[in-house]
Chain A
Amino acid sequence: MKRLLAIEWNKLFYYKSTRIFTLLYFVLLIVIGVILAFIKPTIGGVKLDIVQLGFFKFPTIWQNITYLVAIGKIFLAIIIVLNITNEFSNGTLKQNLIDGMSKKEFLYSKLLTSFVLVAISTLFVFFITLILGLVFAKGESVSFQGIEFMSAYFLKLVFFFVFCAFLSLLLKKSALALLGIVVWWIGEAVIKTIEAVATMNIGKEGDTNSFLLSNYLPLSSSSNLIDFPKIKIEGFITGQSIFVYQSVNWSFFVVTLLYTALFIWLAYWLLKKRDL
C-alpha cells in the first residue's frame, strides 16, 4: 500500500492541475464558511440573517454544512478524472503494466488516492463545522448529535469518486468522462420525471419521503444521503432555529454502499477485459 501511494504521489503531486484544483477546493470550502457567517441578504424587505435562522446551531449544523459543501467535490473529481485519463493519453497505463504492475494494483492505487482525498476533505469539513458551530454556539453546549452526517458525507464522496474513476476507465478521455457525468445526471433526472408523471407524483421528484424507485438510482441515492435540511416555519416566527434535525436516511446509505461496490467491480472487470 505504501509502495502504491508513493507511486501515486509522484504522479499527482508534481502535476500542475492537481495543485490548482486542490487549492481551489480548499479555498472554496473556507469561502463558503466565511460567506455564510457574514453575509446578510435582504429578500422581499426581510433581512435574512442565516445565523439568526439557526443555520449554525447544533445538531442541524452537521447536515447544513455537509449539504452545502458537497458541491465542491467536483474539483476533487476533476483531479481523479485527469489522473486516470492521463494514464491513457500518456500511454503510461500500458507501461506501468509492462513494468510489472498488475491491473488490480493499478485500480487499487487509483482508489487509494481517492480515499485519501476523501479522508482529507472529510476531516477538513469536520473541523470547519466544529469551529463554526463553536463560534455561533454562544454558550450552548457542543453537540455531536447529527455527526452521522459526516459519515454520509464520507460515503457520498467515496461513491462519487469511484463513479468518476469508472467513467474515466470506460471513456479514457477527460472531456468525455466529465461529459459522461453530466449526461448520466441528466439521464437520472429524465427517469425521475417519467416515474413521477407515471405514478402521479408530479413535483415530488426530489422528495425522499414520497417513495419513488428512481430515488435509488446511483447519483440520486448518493445525493439523497444528505438531503436539503428540513425547515419548520414556526421557528422563524418564534425567533428560534427554523431547521429541524432529522437523521440520515439509512436506506440510501446502504444502497450507495452497494453502488460503490458495484462500480469498483465494474471498473476492475473493464480493466481486466480490455486490450491496451
Chain B
Amino acid sequence: MVFLFLLMEKVLEISNLTKKYKNLTAVNDLNLSVEKGNIYGLLGPNGSGKSTTLGVILNVVNATAGSWKWFNEEPTTDSLKRIGAIIERPNFYPYLSAEKNLQIVAKIKGVSPTKIDEKLALVGLIERKNDKFSTFSLGMKQRLAIAAALLNDPEVLILDEPTNGLDPQGIIQIRELIMKIAELGTTIILASHLLDEVEKVCSHVIILERGKTLYSGKVDEMTSDFGYVEIGAKNEHQLKEMLETVPYFEKIVFEKTYYKAFLKEDVAAEAINQLLFEKGIVLNHLVKKKESLEQQFLELTKKQYSK
C-alpha cells in the first residue's frame, strides 16, 4: 500500500482554493488532487464552480485565496506548456485556416510545427487544414480544439464540457477520441454536468457542489453501500414476509413487479437464491445491482442539501 502510494505521481494538487465574486463564492475552500494516468470526471450541476476552478488553475481567473501546484511545482506559464486545455467553446481566429491557427498555438507552446499535421490527422481534419476556421461545423471546431490541446503532447488534458452542443454523432466522435487519448497514458480531467458521459469515460470522479468537494475517488467506490438486489416471485406476499426475516437487508421496497432489497453487507446473489429456495420460494427474477452514478450523485447532493 505504501509502495503504491509512492508510485502515484501527483499531477495537480489544489489546496484551500477560494474564489469570490462580488456577492458569490464560486469556489469555497476547495481541496483536490489528481494523480497521473487516471481519467477524472469533474462533476457538478451548472454553477457548482467547475469552470471557475479550471479557470484558476489555467491562469485566466485570479484566485481570492489558496494555492495549487502543477507537477509538484509552483505554477508558471511553463507548467501550462505541459498541459493541454479546452475551456467551454473552441476559441480560434475565424479568418485563419486550421493550419494557421495551429501555427499560432505551436508558437505559443514552443513546439515544432511538424506536430500540426500529425495532430490534425489524429482528429480527422487533415483534409480540411487549409480551410478557414469559420467554415467548420461545431463538431469540427471542437476536434480542432482537441488537436490544438494535444499539440505539445501534454501530460494532462483538460476538457471542459467537450460534447456541449454537439449532435449524437459528434458526441460519439469526441468520446472515441478521448478514449484513444486515454489509452496513450495521458491524464485527463473531464468537466461535465452529464453523468452518463462521466460514467462512460472516467475512472475517477470528483463531485463539486456549490464550490466544495462532495466526493473524490473511484467511480465504482462512490458509495460505501453494497448495492441492492431485485427479487421477484409469483407469490409476492409470501416473498415479502420471507424477505423481512432475512438479516441481509436494511430496506425493502416494492417496484412494479418485484422487490428492491438494499443490502447491509456483501452477499452473493447465489446465497440469497439458495436461502429462499430452501424456504420454499422459487424466484422468477433475481438481479444484483449497484446504483448508477446518476442515482448516487442525486443521493450525495440530496444529503448535502438536507444538512
Contacts and interface: CB of A to CB of B under 8 A. Distances in A.
Contact of B104 (A7, A97, A102, A105): A7
Contacts of B62: 273, 275
A94 B148 CA distance: 14
A16 B59 contact: no
Contact of A92 (B92, B103, B107, B109): B92
Interface string A92-110: 1011111111100100000
Interface residues of B, number: 29
Interface in A100-122: 100-102, 105
Nearest to B58: A98
Given A6-B107, A10-B100, A10-B103, A98 B59 contact: yes
A15 interface: yes
A138 interface: no
Overall SS of chain B's interface: loop
B276 interface: no
A170 to B, nearest CB: 17
B141 to A, nearest CB: 12
Given A7-B108, A100-B109, A276-B60, A94 B87 contact: yes
Contacts of B100: 10, 14
Contacts, number: 75
Interface stretch (B6-14, B75-83, B180-188, B243-251): B75-83
A238 B58 CA distance: 72
Contacts of A6: 107
A101 B108 contact: yes
A47 interface: no
B108 A100 contact: yes
A187 to B, nearest CB: 28
Nearest to A106: B108
B137 interface: no
A91 interface: yes
A11 B81 contact: no
B92 A95 contact: yes
A232 interface: no
Given A14-B100, A95-B87, 6 more contacts: A7-B108, A90-B91, A99-B81, A100-B80, A100-B108, A276-B61
User: Which 6 pairs show the lowest CB-CB distances between chains A and B?
Assistant: A91-B91, A95-B91, A100-B80, A100-B81, A276-B60, A99-B108
10 contacts: A7-B104, A11-B93, A90-B94, A95-B87, A100-B78, A102-B77, A105-B77, A273-B62, A275-B55, A276-B61
